[in-house]
């Protein structure tokens, strides 16, 4: 079960080197030039970083922003990054699909992925001529770790007549074995499109069993799946939703589709991280809770000062590997470069291209809430 406390703004994140020593250890100090470059940025993070902490953080921010210009680098920041990264150094911000589209189109020599490893691989698959860096190679994902290319080859042998859709949260090797990818922004669209293309009523969607169950309920298509789950979203339960409604009358509950189906059933709205952010911006609910990763509420709250956020705190330990400190280090050293064998990259790109070729939606597709959860078959 999720921690049903309201953690308040700026949930503490594990950044062990944070403090004056982190900047000083890198020969950076808070001088007049840094102050002039960063003063206008401080209001963006004043709810999360105290005035006392700012002189320790501003030199890193200034140095990162200078290095980006010098090296023609951009930072793609996922919605789960902490506000210091998201607000102060991210050049493009968004959900997995938006960041993938940026990687393919951005005019830069270097992409720094402020996100997890599968996202950096996606950037490299789509932009092979660019240097793609991940600041910490340990920034993984429980979904991506749950399935291998060999697993998918076995599924294909067992079910040769069904198309295999993979959620983008997987390795390049897995993408290379699948027919098409999807993200939480377009999963139902992709499953419907591939079912029509293959003239079948059955689609295999791996590796997230909950996303697959949620898509099955939306589409009416027979979806088979794999027993993977997101370690952050599987913690939320329908009981949590009930407790939140009791504790905070009138609260509007938004859920990510990696949550179990009974959570979506009990919620008011569901969609990708950007769909949740759009909902808050468009509807301005009085009181809201986002059933997703912790930092997301901080980032959406900054953009919507009139909305009252209840913040149950579930951190993604992999996303939290990325810090201002290691973003600075990776721009200085060029480590760690993400490389993919060319034969794997080309086949993985086919699966991504198949998704990108579908009609572009004006905004991420919302999942219907209130639907009865469906039991679906596993492929193993
Ligand atoms: P989004 O595509 O909704 O940003 O999701 C990515 C992710 O890892 C959610 O846990
Ligand atoms: Fe993976 Fe879940 Fe973390 Fe997203 S939140 S990166 S799905 S472990």
CA of 30 to the centre of ligand 1 (A): 35
230 lines ligand 2 (CB under 6 A): yes
CA of 75 to the centre of ligand 2 (A): 19
Q: What is the CA 348 to chain-centroid distance, rounded?
A: 19
141 lines ligand 2 (CB under 6 A): yes
CA of 39 to the centre of ligand 1 (A): 32
Residue nearest to atom 8 of ligand 2 (CA): 141
Looking at the structure, tell me whether residues 126 and 157 fall in a common domain: no
Looking at the structure, tell me whether residues 199 and 91 fall in a common domain: no
Tens digit of pLDDT for each residue in 247-291? 999 999 999 999 999 999 999 999 999 999 999 999 999 999 999
pLDDT at 151: 98
Residue 109: Cβ-neighbour burial (10 angstroms; 0-12, 13-18, 19+): exposed
> In this structure, what DSSP letter does residue 367 have?
B
- Pocket test of ligand 2: the residue of 293, 314, 321, 322 to mutate, having most ligand atoms within 8 Å of its CB, is 293
295 lines ligand 2 (CB under 6 A): no
Looking at the structure, tell me whether residues 207 and 349 fall in a common domain: yes
Tens digit of pLDDT for each residue in 26-72? 999 999 999 999 999 999 999 999 999 999 999 999 999 999 999 99
CA of 40 to the centre of ligand 2 (A): 32
CA atoms within 13 A on the CB side of 6: 13
Residue nearest to atom 8 of ligand 1 (CA): 169
Looking at the structure, tell me whether residues 49 and 148 fall in a common domain: no
Taking the CA atoms of 99, 103, 109 and 112 in sequence, report the sign of the dihedral they define: positive
pLDDT at 1: 45
Looking at the structure, tell me whether residues 329 and 346 fall in a common domain: no
Looking at the structure, tell me whether residues 35 and 107 fall in a common domain: yes
Please, which pLDDT band fits residue 3 given cuts at 50, 70 and 90? Answer: very low
Quick check: is 184 in a domain? yes
Quick check: is 298 in a domain? no
Looking at the structure, tell me whether residues 68 and 165 fall in a common domain: no
CATH number at residue 26: 3.40.50.10800
Looking at the structure, tell me whether residues 42 and 125 fall in a common domain: yes
Helix (H) or strand (E) holding 174: helix 172-177
Quick check: is 148 in a domain? yes
Helix (H) or strand (E) holding 375: none
Higher-scoring residue by pLDDT: 1, 327? 327
pLDDT at 17: 47
For the full predicted model, state whether its pTM sits above 0.85: yes
Ligand nearest to the CA of 257: 1
CA of 51 to the centre of ligand 1 (A): 32
Give the mean model confidence (pLDDT) for residues 80-99. 96
pLDDT of residue 313 exceeding 90: no
Looking at the structure, tell me whether residues 148 and 181 fall in a common domain: yes
Residue nearest to atom 3 of ligand 1 (CA): 272
Ligand 2 atom nearest 144 alpha carbon: 1
Domain enclosing residue 39, as ranges: 20-141+319-333
Ligand 1 atom nearest 233 alpha carbon: 10
Looking at the structure, tell me whether residues 50 and 113 fall in a common domain: yes
Non-local CB neighbours of 316 within 8 Å, separated by 6+ positions: 80, 116, 231, 232, 293, 294
Ligand 2 atom nearest 258 alpha carbon: 7
Quick check: is 166 in a domain? yes
How many domains in the chain? 2
- The C-alpha torsion from 43 through 84 and 298 to 254, rounded to 10°, is 130
Quick check: is 270 in a domain? no
Quick check: is 226 in a domain? no
Looking at the structure, tell me whether residues 125 and 104 fall in a common domain: yes
CA of 315 to the centre of ligand 2 (A): 9
CA of 78 to the centre of ligand 1 (A): 8
Ligand nearest to the CA of 170: 2
Ligand nearest to the CA of 145: 2
pLDDT at 160: 98
Tens digit of pLDDT for each residue in 138-193? 999 999 999 999 999 999 999 999 999 999 999 999 999 999 999 999 999 999 99
Quick check: is 13 in a domain? no
Quick check: is 313 in a domain? no
Q: How far apart are CA 93 and CA 81, in angstroms?
A: 9
Looking at the structure, tell me whether residues 209 and 347 fall in a common domain: yes
Report the pocket of ligand 1 as residue ranges, CB < 6 Å.
79, 95-96, 169, 183-184, 230, 258, 272-273
pLDDT at 21: 82
DSSP-derived secondary structure for 26-90: TT----HHHHHHHGGGHHHHTTTS-TTTHHHHHHHHHHHHHHHHHHTEEEEEETTS-HHHHHHT-
């Amino acid at each position: 079960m999720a921690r049903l406390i309201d953690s308040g703004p700026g949930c503490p994140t594990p950044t062990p080197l944070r403090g004056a020593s982190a900047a000083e250890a890198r020969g950076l100090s808070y001088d007049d030039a840094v102050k002039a470059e960063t003063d206008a940025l401080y209001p963006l993070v004043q709810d999360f970083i105290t005035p006392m902490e700012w002189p320790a953080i501003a030199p890193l921010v200034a140095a990162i922003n200078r290095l980006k210009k010098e090296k023609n680098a951009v930072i793609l920041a996922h919605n789960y990054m902490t506000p210091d990264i998201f607000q102060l150094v991210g050049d493009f911000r968004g959900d997995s699909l938006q960041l993938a589209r940026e990687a393919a189109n951005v005019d830069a020599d270097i992409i720094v992925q402020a996100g997890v490893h599968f996202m950096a691989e996606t950037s490299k698959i789509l932009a092979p001529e660019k240097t793609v860096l991940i600041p910490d190679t340990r920034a993984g994902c429980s979904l991506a770790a749950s399935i291998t290319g060999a697993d998918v080859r076995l599924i294909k042998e067992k079910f040769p007549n069904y198309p295999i859709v993979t959620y983008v949260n997987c390795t390049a090797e897995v993408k290379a074995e699948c027919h098409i990818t999807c993200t939480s922004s377009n999963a139902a669209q992709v499953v419907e499109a591939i079912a029509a293309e293959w003239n079948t009523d059955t689609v295999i969607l791996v590796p997230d069993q909950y996303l697959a169950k949620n898509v099955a309920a939306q589409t009416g298509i027979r979806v088979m799946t794999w027993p993977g789950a997101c370690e952050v979203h599987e913690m939320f339960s329908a009981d949590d939703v009930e407790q939140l409604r009791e504790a905070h009358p009138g609260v509007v509950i938004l859920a990510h589709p990696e949550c179990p189906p009974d959570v979506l059933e009990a919620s008011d709205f569901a969609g990708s991280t950007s769909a949740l952010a759009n909902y808050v911006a468009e509807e301005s609910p009085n009181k809201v809770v986002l059933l997703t990763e912790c930092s997301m509420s901080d980032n959406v709250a900054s953009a919507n000062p009139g909305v009252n956020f209840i913040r149950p705190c579930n951190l993604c330990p992999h996303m939290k590997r990325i810090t201002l400190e290691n973003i600075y280090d990776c721009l200085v050293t060029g480590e760690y470069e993400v490389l993919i064998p060319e034969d794997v990259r080309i086949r993985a790109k086919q699966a991504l291209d198949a998704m990108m070729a579908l009609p572009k939606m004006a905004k991420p597709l919302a999942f219907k809430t209130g639907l009865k959860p469906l039991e679906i078959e596993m492929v193993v």
